[in-house]
Amino acid sequence: MRKGILIRATALIMSLLLFMAFTAGCSQNELKLLEAIVNPEPVYSYESSGHVEFSFNVENVNRPAASDYYDNYMSTIIRVLEAYFDGAGFDYSAKLSAEKDYSSIREEFIITPSLLGGQLTSLKTGLWLDYQGSDPGKTDVYIQMPKILAALTEETAGKDYLTMDLNRVLELIDDEMDLYTGAPLSEMLDIGKLVNDSNGLSKTFADGFKQMAAQMKPDEVYVRDVRPVPGSNGKMGRVYTLSITDSGLKKLVRSFVNDLDKDTLKGFTLVALDGMIEYYSKAAFSSVLYGDVIKELKSMKKTVETEFDLGYVFIKPMVNDILDKMNNVRLLGPKGITFDIEVDSNGFVTAWDGVLDFSIDVARIEKLTDSYPSGMKYINFTIKANETMTRINQRVFVDMPETTSINSVSLESIIEKMLPEMTDYIDWASL
DSSP 127: E
pLDDT in tens, 311-342: 888 899 999 998 999 988 999 999 999 999 99
For residue 15, pLDDT over 50 is answered with: no
Q: What's the pLDDT score for residue 373?
A: 76
Q: Name which of 3-7, 109-113, 185-189, 339-343 the model is least confident about.
A: 3-7
CA 155 from centre of chain: 32
Rounded to whole angstroms, the Cα distance separating 363 from 373 reads 7
Rounded to whole angstroms, the Cα distance separating 201 from 283 reads 14
pLDDT in tens, 138-178: 889 999 998 888 888 888 888 999 999 887 777 776 665 55
Yes or no: say if 184 and 430 are a contact pair by the CB < 8 Å rule: no
Q: Edge-to-edge, what's the strand order for the sheet holding 376-390?
A: 223-230, 236-244, 332-343, 349-361, 376-390, 45-60, 89-98, 104-114, 125-132, 138-144, 161-165, 408-410
Q: What percent of the chain has pLDDT over 90?
A: 31
For residue 189, pLDDT over 90 is answered with: no
Name the nearest CA neighbour of 93 among 125, 130, 121: 125
110 CB burial (10 A radius; 0-12, 13-18, 19+): middle
Domain limits, the chain:
4-100+190-400
pLDDT (mean) for 399-415: 90
Q: Which of 73-87, 119-133, 238-252 has the highest mean pLDDT?
A: 238-252
75 Cβ contact partners less than 8 Å away, ≥ 6 residues apart: none
Supply the mean pLDDT for the chain: 80
Yes or no: say if 391 and 45 are a contact pair by the CB < 8 Å rule: yes
136: preceding bond cis by omega (within 30 degrees): yes
For residue 73, pLDDT over 80 is answered with: no
Yes or no: say if 60 and 256 are a contact pair by the CB < 8 Å rule: no
390 Cβ contact partners less than 8 Å away, ≥ 6 residues apart: 46, 47, 48, 232, 350
